[in-house]
Structures are given as C-alpha cells and as structure tokens.
Structure 1
Amino acid sequence: MILTQNLCKRYGRMAAVQDMNLSIAPGTVFGLVGENGAGKTTALSMLATLSTPTSGRAYIQGFEVTREPRAVRRCIGYMPDAFGVYDDLTVMEYLRFFADCYRVDRRLVKARADDLLERVRLTDKRDTYVNALSRGMQQRLEIARCLMHDPAVLILDEPSSGLDPKSRLEMRTVLHGLRDMGKTVLISTHILNELAEVADEVGILRRGELVAVAAVQVMVQHSSAYRTIRIDGRFEPGELERVLAADRHVVDVHAADAGWNVLYAGTLAQQADLLTTLVQHGMAITQFSEQPTDIEQLFLRLSAIQEGM
C-alpha cells in the first residue's frame, strides 16, 4: 500500500506539496489529477525516493521512503513523465538490461519479458531498436520495463502524455491490464476524464494541496444523475440566482462566458418546469440547453457537499 502523513516539499517559501495525507490500499488503481504545476511530479518523485520531503512521512509496502529507500526501490516500478531510451538496444535487450539492474534471476528474464511484451502489445517489436519505436510504443515499453522486477507498486507520471488518440486507447488497455495483475498503481494526469475508465479512486491536487478524494464508481453514478444546463438570456442582476436558489434540484450555479452553467439533479420534466418558472418571472431566455457535464467540477462540488454533511 501507499501511505503519506502530512507530506510536504518546500522550495524556499514556495510549497510544491503541502500536508498531503493519502492512503492507497493494495491492488488499487489511484489517479492523482492536477493542472501543470499542481505538484503531481513532486509528490511522485518523493514516493519514488528521488526527492527528499521537507517534512512529513511516506510509506510504500511499509517501508519509509527516506529511511529505507533501497527497500522502497525494490518494490516499486517508476515511470517518469520524461524518459530517455538507449539507441543501440533492441526492445528485448532493453528489458534484459533493466532486469540485470534489478538482479532478476536470469532463468526468469526471457519468459517474463515475453509475457510483458504481450501485455503491452509489443511482441512483434522485440527485435526492433528502441529509438525506432513511436512515442506511444516507447511509453508502453516503459511500463513493461517497470514490471521486469515484478514490483508490487507502480508509480506512473503522465503515462499518456503526448500521445495521439489511438495511442491513448492502447495505453488505456495496458493500464486495465495492470489492475488484472493485482498491482497497486498510482497514476498522475492533468485530465480527470482519462482516469474514469481505469482508476478505482481519484484525488485532485491543487497548488500542492490534495483538495478532494473519491471513488470513481461513485463519480460515474453521480455523473449520470446530474446534468449541466446552459442558460443565457436577459434578466436583472441577481434575479436568475434567486429563482434558481428556490429550486431544490439545483446543485450548483456558476457564470460561464456570457451565460450560466447550472448543475441540475432533476428529471427532464423538472427541467421543463424550471424553464417555465424562469419565463413566468419575466426573464427573456435565449438558451436553455443541456451541456456535457464537467466531471472535475462535479467531483469537487460533490466532495464539498459531502464534507459539509
């Protein structure tokens, strides 16, 4: 498992990670979401023993990252957000090299490499030079490399970064396979929607702080129950908000461009009733339409509601 207790990393007065408290159970795929600069890479580098925390503690499989770094490295596979490859090695040689680095029993290397190449869909590239692979193939090869010493925990920093849509789908399939292997996986990304199909839990990191954590299954259930309604029109300041506040199905209201986005928990019939009410109050409604729900905004809003209960 992965556990952090008030984990902090400061650079002078700037806190890259602030009081992070995280608990990831064995076999869980956990997604850490945040915009660029939110502190994701810093958090993952501390867990991978590449950066020393300013304060707080972090444990992986029971080993503390600052006091027992060698033990931590033996039980993790770490894929950074940027990596280099060796130009003069084939795919199979590349995997053998890292197996030797981790002192994997040489009797196991070929069978394990063959199995992993099949899992990441690179079996037909075993004799191809690594630098001749596409970026998507190199990303998948990196996951195979992380697994060569059979670690219990994988830490993947933006594994889908820079990939085209087809390569993203292939990477998603690979990530699904990690769950089937029973691995504990921590994935960082700046796009929450990417994790909806592969993660069990998701946490949002903002300005170094973990602001919300929830189970993906709960979010998916809520996303089908909540709708986002776009409302444009001409009305007096504050008038729309007053009417919406009286509707118990309105979960959240926020301004967007020249109109308003309303997170709504009612049925289509109740939406129609809301539109009728707005018109009866003399509002000139020019748009009242359902929009795709921003899952990140829904996530944060529902988390805030649950905290207030």
Structure 2
Amino acid sequence: MLEVKGLRKEFGQLVAVKDIHFALQPGDIFGYIGPNGAGKTTTLRMLATLLEPTSGTAIVNGIDIVRQPEDARPLIGFMPDFFGLYEGITVWEYLAFFAEAYNIPPRERKQVIENVLELTDLTVKRDTYVETLSRGMQQRLCLAKTLLHDPLLLLLDEPASGLDPRARAELKELLREIGAMGKIVIVSSHILPELSDFCNKIGIIEKGELLLWGDVDDILRQLQPARLLTIRCLDGADKLAEWLRKQPEIVNVQVVNSTVEAQFVGDDEAQAELLRRIILDGHRIATFSETTMNLEDVFLRVTKGEVA
C-alpha cells in the first residue's frame, strides 16, 4: 500500500505542498485534481524520490521513500508531463535501453518488452522510429517504459495532455487495465472529465493544501446528501410541484423551464415508490431522472480559485 504522511515542500517563502496525508491500496486509481500551480507535480516528484521533501514522508509497501529512496525506486514508476524521446532509435531500442537501465536481467528483457508492447498496444510499432510516432503513441511508449520494471506504484503527471479524444479514450481503457492488475495509480490532472470514468478515489489540492480526499462515491454523498430528481410532467410542472411539496421525502422543489427539480432524501426503493405514487395520483410523467454531481461540480464546490 501507499501511505503519505505529512508531506511538505517549501521553496524559500513559498509552501508548494502543505503537510498532505492520504493512503491508497493496490487497485486504487487516484485522481489528483487541482488547477495549474496547485502542487500536483511537486507532490508526484516527491513521491518519485526526485525531490526531497522539506518534511514528512511516504511509505510504499513498508519502505520509507525519504530514508530508503534506493529501495523504494524499484517499486515506483513515474511518467512526467514532458518526457524526452531520443531520436534515431526504434521503439524496441528505446525500451531495450531502459530495460537495461532498470537492471532487468538480459535473459528476461525480450519477454518483458514484448509484454509491455502488447499491454500498451504498440506491438505493430516496435520497429518504428520514436520521433515519427503521434503524440498519443508517444504517450503510450512512455507508459510502456514506465511499466518495464513492473512497479507497484504508478505516478502519471497529466498523461492525457495534448491527446485527441480517441487517444484519451484509449488511455482511459489502458489505465483501467493497469488498475485491474493490482497496481496503485495516481493520475494528476486539471481536466476533470478525463478522470471521472475510471478513478475510484480522488484528492483535490489547491494552493498546496489537500482540501479533501477519499472514495468518489463517499465524497459525492457527503456533498450532495439529497438526490436531485428532474421530472417533466405532461399535465404541467406547477401542479406536480405542488403535490411534491406535500411529500415527506422531498426537502425542496423548484420549477425550471417547465421541468420540476426536487431534492429527495431516500434510497432506490423509496425513489421507485415515489414514482409509483406520482403516477397513481394521476400525473402523466414524460421523463423522470436523477441528476448526480460530477467531479467538476465537486471541484467547484470545494475550491476557491486560488493558486500559490
């Protein structure tokens, strides 16, 4: 597992990361969310042992990254936002170079490279020169390089930056597969839609401070304890709104553009029962749906728009 304990980084008078704490288990995909300049990259560089914390530490599978950085590094794979790709070499040669750098035994390298090429769907590009690859393929190649030594913890800094919609969708699917392999994945981003489909945990950082972190569903329930029901009635919104205001499970009702929006307190069974009663009372319902908060709503709710 990964346990972050009071991680802090100061650059002179600037506190880039302020004593953050969180813990993740194998299989967790953690969306690390924040505006530019919030401290995301600084956090990842400290976890990757590339930047020494001012105070605090992190424990990866029982190994302290500050006291035992050499022992921690084999467990960590770091993919920076901007990465160098050497020109004049093929995809296979690029991966073979890093496989040797990671001290993968020579007799195992060929199979390891084949495995990461297959996982990242780059097998057909094995003899292609790296500088001729598209941006999306280069991202895949950097991820393949990051996976060569089979790290437990993957740190991905803005991995979808500059990708087209199809490449983003393919990257999401690849990250789901990696999470299913039992690895811990931390994905930093300020583009929320790319995280909402595959992260099971999130953390929101602003001005170096971790405002909240935890399971996505738990956070949504905390911030939106009542369900928001959107109902369109063929008999008119005002009549239905008046009926709903008399129901004990409804805490607030408003009419918006001929549609009723009602805040409902109850589970799925109670929601189904409410719909049944609405229909039995003679209201003709055209649409009945529940609107839930998304990561963008959460981000706007808890942040103030400040940067360090």
Q: How would you bin the TM-score normalised by the shorter chain? A: 0.7 to 0.9
Unaligned runs of 5+ in 2: 231-248, 254-260, 266-270, 276-289, 304-308
Q: Which residue of 2 aligns with 1:175?
A: 175
Identity %, equivalent residues:
44
TM-score by length of 2: 0.75
Unaligned runs of 5+ in 1: 230-246, 252-261, 271-289, 304-309
Quote the Cα distance in structure 2 between the aligned partners of 1:97 and 1:168: 27
Quote the Cα distance in structure 1 between the aligned partners of 2:262 and 2:18: 30
Distance 1:206 1:128, change over 3 A: same
Distance 1:224 1:122, change over 3 A: farther
Matched residue count: 260
Alignment check: 8 A CA contact 1:227 1:293 kept: no
Alignment check: 8 A CA contact 2:220 2:293 kept: no
Q: Which residue of 1 aligns with 2:91?
A: 91
For the residue of structure 2 that corresponds to 1:140, the secondary structure is helix
Q: Which residue of 2 aligns with 1:123?
A: 123
Write out aligned runs for 1:212-223 (5 A). Answer: 212-218=212-218
For the residue of structure 1 that corresponds to 2:50, the secondary structure is coil
Q: Which residue of 2 aligns with 1:190?
A: 190
2:251 aligns with one of 246, 249, 252: 249
For the residue of structure 1 that corresponds to 2:58, the secondary structure is strand
1:245-277 per-position Cα deviation (integer Å, ceiling 9, x unaligned): xx96359xxxxxxxxxx995578x99xxxxxxx
Q: Which residue of 2 aligns with 1:48?
A: 48
Alignment check: 8 A CA contact 1:228 1:293 kept: no
Quote the Cα distance in structure 2 between the aligned partners of 1:45 and 1:25: 20
Q: Which residue of 2 aligns with 1:69?
A: 69
Q: Which residue of 1 aligns with 2:136?
A: 136
Distance 1:263 1:69, change over 3 A: farther
Q: Which residue of 1 aligns with 2:238?
A: none
Which letter maps to 1:137?
M
TM-score by length of 1: 0.74
Which letter maps to 1:214?
G
1:195-221 per-position Cα deviation (integer Å, ceiling 9, x unaligned): 222212111111111111131344678
Quote the Cα distance in structure 1 between the aligned partners of 2:43 and 2:174: 23
1:104-137 per-position Cα deviation (integer Å, ceiling 9, x unaligned): 0122211221121111111110000111101111
Which letter maps to 1:102?
Y
Distance 1:138 1:209, change over 3 A: same
Alignment check: 8 A CA contact 1:212 1:300 kept: no
Alignment check: 8 A CA contact 2:205 2:211 kept: yes
Alignment check: 8 A CA contact 2:250 2:262 kept: no
